[in-house]
Amino acid sequence: MLDGKKVLFSGMQATGNLTLGNYLGALKNWVTLSDEYECFYSVVDMHSITVRQDPQVLRKRARALLTLYIAAGLDPEKNCIYYQSHVSAHAELAWVLNCFTYMGELNRMTQFKDKAAKHADNINAGLFTYPVLMAADILLYQTDVVPVGIDQMQHLELTRDIAERFNAIYGDVFTVPEAYIGKVGAKIMSLQDPSRKMSKSDENPNASIYLMDDADTIRRKCKRAVTDSVGIIQYTDEQPGLRNLLDIYCACTGKTPEEAVREFDGQGYGVLKEAVGEAVVGVLDPLQKRVAELEKDKAYIDRIIKENAEKAGYFASKTLRKVHRKIGFPDRIR
Ligand code: TRP
């Protein structure tokens, strides 16, 4: 609890280009949470270096993501939007938590196994302890709820285990976080393989709509989306490609699947695809314009970065001090 509100924490990596799936599934819904929760949204650049990054690209993308948070409607005066690397308490708590996490637990993490297989030439210790840094992110702010996708559930479970283990030894130091279950965003699938999630790391550029794609590219990708040979527009599991297009259409227009099906009743897939393209352009074009506006105002973004890092640092260091005292580190002499 902070100022009578529950605390919500989430983080996103600035690696890869964000997709329409990231926006409709996460970012767009976060905007509605700031009244109810005290929200922290971190650009988790420290997690990014577990795989090799080009420094210039990383810096640029991190800033672009932070700007995008604001452009998407997250008010940076109400939501603490900051770079993980600007708050050194993340690294400090991660070290402590490393000493309360078992190798066996980390060995079981499916994301570690996947990433180790994908980056076989660079299986570094950071990749292995990645979930511990994530636990530190969450526990530093006495977080009550964490909105995460299914792929991060295992990490959240581990975070809870670490918190409970620590609390069992030292008393109530950490709030034990829960997964945020509220209105979840639309789950957007790949345009080329509707059995897979739309992903920023898909090798096929036609599979994903990127948030910064121009209007023509968006229209073209929608037109090329994989459908089926049934030829009837309906919303069913048997037509996953079509259902995905309808989901995108609904998420962009606020319509229900039933309304959408009625609207396109008796029409060909081409008409639907065109309408989906226009609906996506209708959402992304204004978003891109707000990003461009914000990018021009360097001083404003810089101020947000500085002030929110200070705000995050204030809360984080409170928890860190408590942890240091509990585990027996000597008080600092002031
Ligand atoms: N690991 C998360 C992901 O890749 C990002 C992340 C880092 C995160 N720290 C977090 C998400 C804390 C939620 C809470 O998606």
Cα 190 to ligand 1 centre (Å): 22
User: CATH number of the domain that 150 lies in?
Assistant: 3.40.50.620
d(CA 325, CA 33) in angstroms, rounded, equals 33
Residue 165's domain comprises 6-180+298-327
- Atom index in ligand 1 nearest the CA of residue 44 equals 7
Q: Please provide the average confidence, as pLDDT, over all residues in the chain.
A: 95
Catalytic residues: 115, 197, 200
pLDDT at 316 over 90: yes
Give me the mean pLDDT over the 234-245 stretch: 96
The pLDDT of residue 1: 80
**Ligand 1: residue whose CA is nearest its atom 6:** 11
User: Residue 147 CA: which ligand 1 atom is closest?
Assistant: 13
pLDDT band, residue 243 (cuts 50/70/90): very high
Per mean pLDDT, which range of 24-28, 162-166, 315-319 is the poorest?
24-28
Residues 289 and 303 in one domain: no
Report the Cα 44 to chain-centroid distance in Å: 10
Q: Let me know whether 93 and 236 are in one domain.
A: no
Residue 185 confidence class, pLDDT cut points 50, 70, 90:
confident
The pTM assigned to this predicted structure is 0.92
Q: Are residues 173 and 265 in the same domain?
A: no
- The reply to whether 106 falls in a domain is yes
Question: Does 44 contact ligand 1 (Cβ within 6 A)?
Answer: yes
Per-residue pLDDT, 200: 85
Q: What is the pLDDT of residues 248-289, one digit of tens each?
A: 999 999 999 999 999 999 999 999 999 999 999 999 999 999
Same domain, 40 and 168: yes
Ligand 1: distance of its center to the CA of 85 in Å?
A: 14
Ligand 1 lined by 152 (C-beta under 6 Å):
yes
Q: pLDDT by residue (tens digit) across 153-179?
A: 999 999 999 999 999 999 999 999 999
Mean pLDDT of 136-163: 95
Model confidence over 79-106: pLDDT tens digits? 999 999 999 999 999 999 999 999 999 9
